[in-house]
Amino acid sequence: MQATLSSATTASVPTLSADLPIGQIAVQWPGATAIFRRLKLDFCCGGQQSLRSAAAGKGLDAEAVLAEIAPLQRSNALPEATAPGALIDHILARYHEVHRAQLPELIRMARRVEAVHRTHPQVPAGLTDLLEAMEAELLSHMQKEEQILFPMLRAGGAPFIGQPISVMRSEHVEHGAVLQQLAALTADATPPADACNTWRALYAGLAQLSDDLVNHIHLENNVLFPQFEAGASQGCGSGSACSCSGG
């Protein structure tokens, strides 16, 4: 799984502070845009003012806003325990719940960027449709894991466990293909020099989604699933879509 987007906006992240410009926070902490939108804090055209100033202008406590943003600083570290139950709990909390929160906000921003900047030569035309299709596929995939595969793994597996694992591996390959489409459509999540803060925040969020999804798939393909495949009667399947090597 190599299809990652590497937005330059996420290369160096400062310490989160109410004195940072609100537009900078929107770009460097993907997900903060949903908080700002709910609180009616303008991070796009008004992105040059500090969060402290923007919050004061709305009668808000800047420290309370920071407390909402802080959980967005997520770690990609693997859990210390590799027992199936602990891994599944980690995958559900760190990736499934996060993907469900990421995609609706990215879709909203993509729709706005495509509408507002429709005449810009670098507008990512079709991005909203691609993200909506990705969301539908990913939600279906995660539901199958949560309702079928993960309960089986928690129970210790089954002689035929290789079959549903093979299906999940095949769908992981499809997710990787979508990430490649995202990279091509967004110039590897690189916004144009004149991009507004919404456009920059969108691409930073896409880069984080890509990193999260790749790490999510790696954890399942290379850490969780192999614990059950060795003893399964059908292994992981031998179809061309199988990505047991992690490539």
Average pLDDT per run of 10 along the chain, which is 247 residues long?
52 80 91 92 89 94 94 78 89 96 96 97 97 98 97 91 95 96 96 95 96 94 91 45 39
Q: What are phi and psi of 21, to 5 degrees?
A: -60, 140
The two structure tokens encoding residue 43: 């991070």
Rounded Cα distance between 112 and 159, Å, is 49
With CA atoms as reference, report the closest residue to 4 among 236, 219, 246, 214: 214
Q: Is the dihedral angle over the CA atoms 155, 156, 160, 161 positive or is it negative?
A: positive
Q: What pLDDT is stored for residue 73 in this prediction? A: 82
DSSP state of 50: B
Q: What pLDDT is stored for residue 183 in this prediction? A: 96
Q: What pLDDT is stored for residue 13 in this prediction? A: 64
3-state secondary structure of 18: coil
Angle between helices 127-144 and 97-116 (to 10 degrees): 170
HSE of 6, CA atoms in CB hemisphere, 13 A: 4
Whether residue 140 contacts residue 188, with contact meaning beta carbons closer than 8 Å, is answered with no
CB-based burial, 199-218: b 16+ in 10 Å, e otherwise: bbbbbbbbbbbbbbbbbbbb
Rounded Cα distance between 187 and 197, Å, is 17
SS3 sequence of 152-200: HHHCCCCCCCHHHHHHHHHHHHHHHHHHHHHHHHCCCCCCCCCCCHHHH
Q: What pLDDT is stored for residue 46 in this prediction? A: 85
DSSP state of 5: -
Rounded Cα distance between 208 and 212, Å, is 6
With CA atoms as reference, report the closest residue to 110 among 191, 11, 180: 191
Whether residue 137 contacts residue 181, with contact meaning beta carbons closer than 8 Å, is answered with no
Q: Which amino acid is at 125?
A: A
3-state secondary structure of 21: strand
